[in-house]
């Protein structure tokens, strides 16, 4: 999609089963997807960006406190 170098997809939040401490619990989950132009964006940098987005969404205080 010129001129974009990357597109971040954020899906809807849905309750999904997760294993927490050996027990199945229902937790709200959202899929994230990142599509990017490998000629412009390095894969390692893209993964680092996606992990930081995930961390910020999981704990919004990190954005406010710049942790």
Catalytic residues: 38, 42
Residue 8 has phi, psi (to 5 degrees) of: -100, 120
Whole-angstrom distance, CA of residue 43 vs CA of residue 26:
32
Whole-angstrom distance, CA of residue 50 vs CA of residue 56:
10
């Amino acid at each position: 999609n010129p001129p974009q170098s990357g597109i971040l997809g954020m899906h809807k939040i849905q309750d999904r089963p997760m294993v927490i401490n050996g027990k199945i619990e229902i937790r709200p989950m959202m899929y994230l997807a990142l599509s990017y132009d490998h000629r412009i964006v390095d894969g390692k940098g893209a993964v680092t960006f996606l992990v930081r987005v995930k961390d910020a969404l999981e704990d919004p205080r990190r954005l406010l406190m710049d942790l």
